Structure 1
């Protein structure tokens, strides 16, 4: 499989596969990096797609960056990447993991994407932050007063982030979408997924005993079979 490393407006990127007019943009989740797209690319390239993966702020080659893994930094970057893509490919689709799906929907609600594949997507950031505040025993009043509160889980609660999530709910998503969701996903409630699927007419696959992070051999097997099924359709 061909592999080309380069930069798009200073953003580290990898293009996987032989020249095609079809492209999947791969957006990783928290703690991910552009190289993780290789497994997806091996499958997608078999179906004549190319795959473009990038490092989001504070990830991969950009780990030394600080205070930039947030939507007000990520969305403009993704829009600039999409402008580059539209100048190179005719058929464009999206593959995204976890928070990458939320960033993708914030960025591309007006883009004529052909399809999107979401794995363990964050679909309601406001509810997730509210859950994290509950787990950390942090009230909204306390967060507004302190602005930034680190938690024992390693996540940091931010008043600015909460306000952004409140002001930018996902209300528009016209892209035909397939979702793979683990039954025991600890970050996105099943009711949130089912509500989203019903509202935006998505295809939902639920892995019994699956988790938010697909990483065991059994989970990866389910993931790869799901990808193949989606790409064959």
Structure 2
């Protein structure tokens, strides 16, 4: 609503297994997400040459992978995953799954409800986020239980991103207080 009021046109998109696509039988594999985001960008470019991105969590990671060579007006990331390999390694360690076991089984449903895929893991390792040249602002919750602060802060420093931290904020901004903070942050950049 805030963006529309300021003249932005909005393209909204859910990754597989998220939002409106939870009912669809697609696995949320990074390769498919990248493919989908390329289609979205091609469509956006047919409408405008002034493109900004707002993405959260996994969507931010997919944006970093897919749009690293795009010239974007600005990027706004909420609770971004910026190092998927580290996140998967943490999950494997927590669930006591070795890299060799994942390689052998190809697909493992974890005890915490996520499915790990060998091809996904290989893709992530082969495509590190080592390039990002777009003006980017990040909002991060100090109590984010998914993305480690030092990883997000290191990314922000490496790629010269603005980083704002909401004290006591979680990964998922959903409470009234968190949403109000998010709206105020968003207003600064729109």
Higher strand share: 1
Aligned with 2:120 (options 161, 173, 189): 161
Is residue 82 of structure 2 the alignment partner of residue 116 of structure 1?
Answer: no
Q: Is the 8 A contact 2:146 2:171 kept in 1?
A: yes
Helix, strand or coil at the partner of 2:32: helix
Scaled by the length of structure 1, the TM-score of the pair is 0.78
Q: Is the 8 A contact 2:64 2:129 kept in 1?
A: yes
What is the CA–CA distance in structure 2 between the aligned matches of 1:83 and 1:150, rounded to whole Å?
A: 34
C-alpha spacing 1:229/1:61, structure 2 compared with 1 (3 Å): closer
Q: Deviations along 1:96-140, whole A, 9 cap, x unmatched?
A: 010000111111111110100000000000000000011111111
What is the CA–CA distance in structure 1 between the aligned matches of 2:154 and 2:123, rounded to whole Å?
A: 21
Match of 1:12 in 2: none
Q: Deviations along 1:22-47, whole A, 9 cap, x unmatched?
A: xxxxxxxxxxxxxxxxxxxx111122
Quote how far apart the aligned CAs of 1:67 are. 4.3
Is residue 107 of structure 2 the alignment partner of residue 148 of structure 1?
Answer: yes
What is the CA–CA distance in structure 2 between the aligned matches of 1:50 and 1:67, rounded to whole Å?
A: 28
Is residue 98 of structure 2 the alignment partner of residue 139 of structure 1?
Answer: yes
Q: What runs of 5+ residues in structure 2 fail to find an aligned partner? A: none
Match of 2:184 in 1: 225
Greater shift after overlay, 43-52 or 193-202?
Answer: 43-52
Which structure exhibits the higher relative contact order, with contacts defined as CA atoms closer than 8 Å and separated by 6 or more residues?
2
Helix, strand or coil at the partner of 1:149: strand
Match of 1:96 in 2: 55
Q: Is the 8 A contact 2:31 2:120 kept in 1?
A: no
Quote how far apart the aligned CAs of 1:212 are. 0.3
Between Structure 1 and Structure 2, how many residues are aligned?
A: 190
C-alpha spacing 1:204/1:60, structure 2 compared with 1 (3 Å): closer
Higher helix share: 2
Q: Give structure 1 regions of 4+ aligned residues with deviation exceeding 4 angstroms.
A: none
Scaled by the length of structure 2, the TM-score of the pair is 0.95
Quote how far apart the aligned CAs of 1:60 are. 4.4
What is the CA–CA distance in structure 2 between the aligned matches of 1:186 and 1:203, rounded to whole Å?
A: 21
Match of 2:41 in 1: 82
Q: Deviations along 1:56-100, whole A, 9 cap, x unmatched?
A: 334444434334311211112211111111111131100001000
